[in-house]
Amino acid sequence: MSSVASNETRGALYEELPPLHNLPLEVLQDIFVASSTPLASNWEKDPQELVPCLDLGGLKLGHICKAWRVVTRSMPEIFSSITIYHPTEKTVEAVKLYLELSGPNFPLNLALEQHLGMNKSYLDRNGMQGIVNERLCTLDIIDLWIAHAERWKKIQFNIVGGTIPQLANIEPSRLRNLEEASLELGWPKADIQKLWDTIHTSPALRFVMWHKDLPPRVPPSAPLSQLTSIGINFEVTTDMLLTCLSSAPQVRKVLVFRLKASPKSSSNTSASNHRITLRYLDNVCIGDSESLNPLLNRLTTPSLAHMLIRESKPEARSALVDLFTRSRCQMKELHLDYSEITEDGFIKIITSLSPFLTSLEKLSFRVFSNNAFLTEKTLFKLTPSFDRNGRPIGNSFMFPKVYDFFVGSCKISQLDIATMIIARKRAGIPFCALSLHLNNPKPRVNEWGSSLTLVVEMWVYVETQKLEAIED
């Protein structure tokens, strides 16, 4: 009897296990690819916090069981993306294994950050010898990667220290398959420019991120006509940016970290008033800008759907409305960061932009001011009203499709937030993600502290059931 019971128990447990063993091979491979870390950027992270790291997701999957090991070893794609922070001797050995397992022909996505003494905790832990070892390991890894330069698809190098000659002098023909490049190098500018000139010869190049280690201008060798994504991480004038964009008809994404106004002498010329149509431009990110109006007034962007404007002035509102009107675009994602604005000013902005935001899915708003907060007045704009039959009134609220909402500075009570969430759920448009940074919230219910982050799909299901029951 005991053996029968044991068999029955095992059978019951077997039925409760996830049916991974029954998955088709193609599905299992798709899961493995999705779970492998893609080429990732860590530029925004404080170098003091970085620790030696190499993504080993592909190897770890192969350690689960023999069957998975067989599957992963037949998938070069999960070994083709290598992201490294602070290389060590173990990292060098792992890179050798990854290059072997990725096969001889599969494209490579490579990222390397080597900060040397910038990481204080690493310096304290390893001393000067650790810095020397890190530099030597970096040179070994670059040598290994250069041997496979024909396979480079994406590279992201952040390397301080002297020039690495074998990288600076790489043959242009070896980079013919390179599609994306981002370089931040502590080298002499002439060596950096030489490497970029080589990269720019790639006929496959589509994405570039130029950093401030270059001279403050668009590189003359840049193949602008073939680029679809342009990133500029140094101060650039409006005229300089527009000249660059006018030669990049295929561009889809533009990222500028600092935009400054052009000199008056150049902005008064007739050529500087020429309007540019960028038919494929979908995404614009302007980090820190002195004046957006000259840029916005000269662009027409019918495909624009994603925009981030940071440190902009409220007077750019009319230029933004004119751009959207002229372009007839419909935004899906909008991030506005203002240094000087009131709540009434913000409501005017979103009201004037609302005809172009009917398809908006993500909205983010920050105010960099000590006395500028959003209150329930703004929240009311996002809260549906209902007719006598309980149906939402279509024109009673803004942004019916927004599911991801972030506000960086607000004074709103818990009850007001709950009311908005419940109303939107009843209208069939619940938030998937809601993040509100509260400043001294009104204590009508319970104070929530200095900040609040909600994953609302789960939170709404639990909390609104209770609140709706009380209301009923």
Tens place of pLDDT per residue across the chain (472 aa): 444 445 555 445 445 555 666 778 888 888 887 776 554 444 334 433 334 455 566 677 777 788 888 888 888 888 888 888 888 888 898 899 889 988 888 999 999 887 654 555 656 666 666 677 888 889 999 999 999 999 999 999 988 878 899 999 999 999 999 999 999 988 888 999 999 999 999 999 999 999 988 888 899 999 999 999 999 998 899 999 999 999 999 999 999 988 888 786 554 454 456 889 999 999 999 987 777 888 999 999 999 999 998 765 666 678 888 999 999 999 999 988 876 677 787 788 888 888 888 888 888 877 666 655 677 777 777 777 777 777 766 555 677 778 777 777 777 776 777 777 777 777 777 766 666 666 543 433 333 333 333 333 333 333 333 333 333 3
Residue in 246, 249, 215, 245 with CA at minimum distance from that of residue 231: 245
Virtual CA dihedral for 190, 182, 168, 110, nearest 10 degrees?
170
Model pLDDT, residue 460: 38
- Other CB atoms within 10 Å distance of the CB of residue 245: 20
- What is the per-residue pLDDT for 50? 37
3-state secondary structure 390-432: CCECHHHCCCCCCCEEEEEEECCCHHHHHHHHHHHHHCCCCCC
User: What pLDDT was estimated at residue 256?
Assistant: 93
Q: Where in 212-317 does DSSP place strands (E)?
A: 229-237, 253-260, 276-277, 283-289, 299-300, 306-312
Tokens matching residue 155 = 């590279």
In this prediction, residue 312 carries a pLDDT of 56
CA dihedral 125, 129, 131, 137 (to 10 degrees): -110
- Do residues 202 and 176 make contact, with C-beta atoms less than 8 angstroms apart? yes
* pLDDT number for residue 1: 47
Reported as type and span, the H/E element at residue 337 is strand 333-338
Choose among 193, 222, 185, 192: nearest CA to 207.
222
Distance CA 43, CA 57 (A): 21
3-state secondary structure labels for all residues of 7-20: HHHHHHHHHHCCHH
SS3 462: helix
pTM for the full predicted model:
0.80
Residue 388 tokens, joined: 């006598």
| Token code pair at residue 338 | 């203002």
